[in-house]
Amino acid sequence: MTKNVIVLGEVRDGDLRNVSFEGIAAAKTIADGGVVTAVLLGEQVNHLAPLMIQYGADRAVIVEDSKLASYTPDGYSQAFLAVVEQEKPDVIIFGHTAIGKDLSPKIASRLGSGLISDVVAIEAVGETIVFTRPIYSGKAFEKKIISDGMIFVTIRPNNIVSFEKDTARTGDVSSISVEIKDLRTIVREVAKKAVKGVDLSEAKVIISGGRGVKSKEGFKTLQKLADVLGGAVGASRGACDADYCDYSLQIGQTGKVVTPDLYIACGISGAIQHLAGMSNSKIVVAINKDPEANIFNIADYGIVGDLFEVVPMLTEELQNLLV
């Protein structure tokens, strides 16, 4: 049965996050010939609408307002509810990001709708759309189907493959005027942590360090490997607690959940709370000097050795290979 689906295009630093394009691919599977509409909220987002269409959306709806320049729960809820009221979609897709996780339950509960969160796969089985999501910190997966009524879905970044950009695609772009009022939060300034390079939650390659990295200096060794592979540096909580790196790098149950193509765990023991954030990575390589370390139980490739010998060696070899 065809469905009309809307997808929030998530804007960060003036650009669309990749999960927005992955959302469109997810929407196409669900829509089954219905209309896929991209929604853009922000201050100056009009120019991003064609990009959502080039990645597969049929049309785009925009709400532009200076009060939407930064995310606030009140402002975005008001704008998004106005879009939902106009479009009356069957399914609404957000990224399973900080914004998506905050906004989707808020609006879903306001509308009395259901929410399937943290979806990692969507497939059509006959007439039925089946949503797969991890449970028990990623140790098992459950499959959900939609019954009647409007439903919200959040998709985990890096799991659903987006379409190739097609610059020939065009579609209708329209605006809605919404009076954004009674904001309980006003963002006066956004102070950014200076995190170098690729965004961890969307990185295809992550070089992650644990307590075994031993110092801030040690993390520079990992950064070199990440630079060669075009990846990002992550960390265990052990490393963050020891102040070897910033907490924004923490991966795990109480940190970021990542699904890169390649995860290289260096000096990480593989505690269950760490695995909760990375065990769905496509390929895991573990470097640890303890052959009994738990990380080897989930690794596709294991290197028993001192990371201060192995990582520089790998970096050099890959550097030579990739030039």
CB of 229 to ligand FAD, least distance (A): 19
CB of 212 to ligand FAD, least distance (A): 3
Contact residues for ligand FAD, defined by CB under 6 A: 210-212, 236-239, 250, 252-255, 267-269, 271, 273-274, 277, 287-290, 293, 306-308
Q: Identify which of residues 106 and 289 has a Cβ nearer to ligand FAD in the complex.
A: 289
Q: Identify which of residues 290 and 300 has a Cβ nearer to ligand FAD in the complex.
A: 290
Q: Which two tokens stand for residue 185?
A: 């939060």
Q: Identify which of residues 86 and 215 has a Cβ nearer to ligand FAD in the complex.
A: 215
Q: In what order do the strands lie in the sheet with 232-235?
A: 232-235, 205-209, 262-266, 283-288, 301-304
Sign of CA dihedral 266, 269, 275, 279: positive
CB of 276 to ligand FAD, least distance (A): 7
* Cα distance between residue 68 and residue 110, in whole Å: 20
Q: What is the rounded end-to-end Cα distance, in angstroms, of the chain?
A: 50
Closest residue to ligand FAD, Cβ-based? 252
CB of 215 to ligand FAD, least distance (A): 11
At position 77, the amino acid (one-letter code) is S
* Cα distance between residue 131 and residue 151, in whole Å: 12
Q: Identify which of residues 37 and 269 has a Cβ nearer to ligand FAD in the complex.
A: 269
CB of 273 to ligand FAD, least distance (A): 3
Q: Identify which of residues 157 and 234 has a Cβ nearer to ligand FAD in the complex.
A: 234
281 exposure class (CB count in 10 Å sphere: 0-12, 13-18, 19+) = buried
